[in-house]
Amino acid sequence: MRILGVDPGLNITGYGVLEVNSHFHSRLLETGVIKTERNFPLGQRVRKIYEEVKKIIKEFHPQVMVLEELYSHYRHPRTAILMGHARGVISLAAAEERVTLVGYSSTRIKKALLGRGDARKEQLQKMVRYLLNLKNIPRPVDVSDALALCLAHTYIMRSVRK
């Protein structure tokens, strides 16, 4: 099975593609970022995200796409609104390409990979590096977050099948 993890953002959208075998061993196929220009109109920015995600789907043919669920801190509602635009076009690309879309909260992701939902981001990054047997922590953080989404989905699916 191929899993596409996407960390949606209007400025930077990180992604990672893992191939998972029947024993739930993961192999990294691809990582990257989709960047948009802050000074471009919103419509152009979300269109670029949409088109790039469609290209990734067409190249790697994932069976599942995993997105982090929206979270809004009361001090920063604008961040959630902007992320919602990116998340919307990413979801549309998945629907058009008939890719199953799954969402998890950040605490669920941390709990699946680290055993506790209040773990620090640095701990999550180190675990991603360890689980994928990488020399370095994937950068930028948007990429390691996307890979954490893929890995969390793998662990959650494994626990469901037991």
- Residues forming the active site: 7, 68, 142
Cβ neighbours for 42, distance < 8 A, ≥ 6 positions apart: 10, 85
- Token pair, residue 25, equals 């061993």
CA distance 64 to 45: 24
Contact (Cβ atoms closer than 8 angstroms) between residue 113 and residue 151:
yes
Contact (Cβ atoms closer than 8 angstroms) between residue 16 and residue 147:
yes
Handedness of CA 43, 49, 53, 59 (dihedral sign): positive
